[in-house]
Amino acid sequence: MSEGRTRVEMVVATIRQRIAGRSLTPGARLPSVRGLAATLKLSTSTIVDAYERLVAEGAILARPGSGFYVANQAAPFALAEAGPKLDRAVDPFWISRQSLEAGEADLKPGCGWLPPSWLPEDGMRRGLRTLARADGPALADYGSPLGLPQLRQLISRRMGERGVEASPDQIMLADSGTQAIDLLCRFLLEPGDTVLVDDPCYFNFHALLRAHRAKIVGVPYTASGPDIELFAQVVADERPRLYITNSAIHNPTGATLSPVTAHRVLKLADQFDLTIIEDDIFADFEYTPAPRLAAFDGLERVIHIGSFSKTLSASARCGFVVAKPEWIDGLTDLKIATSFGGGQLTAELVLNVLSDGSYRKHMETLRHRLSRAMSEVSARLNNLGITPWLEPQAGMFLWCRLPTASMRLMWRAPHWERGSFWLPETHSACRNRQRISCASTCPRHSIRASLKSWAIYWQEEDDGRWAVGDRARCPAKRL
């Protein structure tokens, strides 16, 4: 039996392989449960479980009193489904698909989440064991639309540590930070409304706002927050309905909002009736809490959102919205309309892990580990002529300046096939920039290996500039 594979999984995989190879044709009768168990020297319960899984996925059919048969209409093999879809334009949706479909062996130096080995796996397993012993309602019932009261109370206390005062009744749980922003866009926007974003910003903001048919306007982001003069000009000219930003650890730059810039942004928001969504999903990566717009504003014009996907697990997603009571009431109605009850099972799991004293120890270790990784990756990047735009105070991203504007990381289908995933940035401020994750660019996945696997070669042109080519056209200076 293969390492890490159960006996049931082994049987399922064997039958799938025989069906795919047409040694078991559509309509063919499978061996009886007892017969296959005797042949494979396994228990009958193992074969029953395997057959039931295959029935559930539609690969085989159960005929009472007769046995099990291969489904008559086996799904045709589609070559396009065998690998990533490479014929789409490079847009936010394409980027998300490629990153989410990447295999474990693929290099992802631009990845926006931590590798599994960096997350609190032991704490998650303890939480799952505790949840398995819970009463029936926790495992089977719909949750409250606002979300698990105990978790909202814990989030309220955690928010207070960052200077944001909010009662549990001002907090609504969501399935993720992305769902939280989606609900807010549904609640606050009409098609054609203008939304202000940072330039650069998290690329999925563009995808989400495009889905809501909003007009997107970007303002350059500096080391201390948005360029306040341009911000004022754009707000006066465009009259945006929303401004979406990260204030603590900005994605992708790693910059931190300064108190002076925060006050000026809030003053302009009040002057032009602007609502601000403050995306704070990287909060637990900080050593010292940075200024929060929600703390200065008192949740009058600012809506604060958070998530635990970056520090706990992207598989057990849980986010939250913090806003003034009248907005929470309307958002709760909208959540009922779009998803009915809350995700109680995930909320219980997150509560168990956060309440465990090991979570704080995990975060302390993780912050130190990221700090060391950032120093190491920054040094290796400098050796390649790639310089970070700034040295972040915390977090996992380095926003890097490429040697010149003419050096571009080029996206073509073969780059994906070579097993290296980089995040292309397409905003106006990103034309010679690249986000690099210090956690994903570890020693065994070195930057040099990532670039070589992507088949990028640099060569010096006659005018002294640098260009990017591939193996065929740029045989000169290799990394």
**What string of DSSP letters covers 75-100?**
PPP-GGGGS---SS-SSHHHHHHHHH
Number of neighbouring beta carbons within 10 Å of residue 86: 15
Do residues 325 and 171 make contact, with C-beta atoms less than 8 angstroms apart? no
Q: What kind and span of H or E run contains 182?
A: helix 177-188
- Name the residue among 47, 15, 52, 17 with its Cα closest to residue 33: 47
What's the pLDDT band for 442 if we cut at 50, 70, 90? Answer: low
For the purposes of burial, counting CB atoms within 10 Å of the CB of 419, is it exposed (0-12), middle (13-18) or buried (19 or more)?
A: middle
Tokens representing residue 141 in the block? 């019932």
Do residues 8 and 53 make contact, with C-beta atoms less than 8 angstroms apart? yes
User: Quick one: residue 424, left, alpha or beta (phi over 0 = left, psi -120 to 50 = alpha)?
Assistant: beta
Lowest mean pLDDT among 164-178, 254-268, 432-446: 432-446
- Predicted pLDDT at 298: 95
Number of neighbouring beta carbons within 10 Å of residue 301: 17
For the purposes of burial, counting CB atoms within 10 Å of the CB of 302, is it exposed (0-12), middle (13-18) or buried (19 or more)?
A: buried
Q: What is the mean pLDDT of residues 106-110?
A: 74
Which residues have C-beta within 8 Å of that of residue 137, sequence separation ≥ 6? none
Tokens representing residue 420 in the block? 């290296």
Residue type, 18: R
The whole-angstrom separation of Cα 335 and Cα 342 is 8
Its sign, for the CA torsion 238, 184, 179, 356, is positive
The predicted-structure confidence for 271-320, as pLDDT tens digits, reads as follows 999 999 999 999 999 998 899 999 999 999 999 999 999 999 988 889 99
> Packing angle between helix 344-355 and helix 358-383, nearest 10 degrees?
90
Checking if the pLDDT of 385 tops 70, the result is: yes
Looking up tokens 């350059």 gives 220
What's the pLDDT band for 446 if we cut at 50, 70, 90? Answer: low
The predicted-structure confidence for 330-367, as pLDDT tens digits, reads as follows 999 999 999 887 788 999 999 999 988 889 999 999 99
The predicted-structure confidence for 200-209, as pLDDT tens digits, reads as follows 999 889 889 9
Which residues have C-beta within 8 Å of that of residue 414, sequence separation ≥ 6? 455, 470
Do residues 214 and 185 make contact, with C-beta atoms less than 8 angstroms apart? yes
Checking if the pLDDT of 170 tops 80, the result is: yes
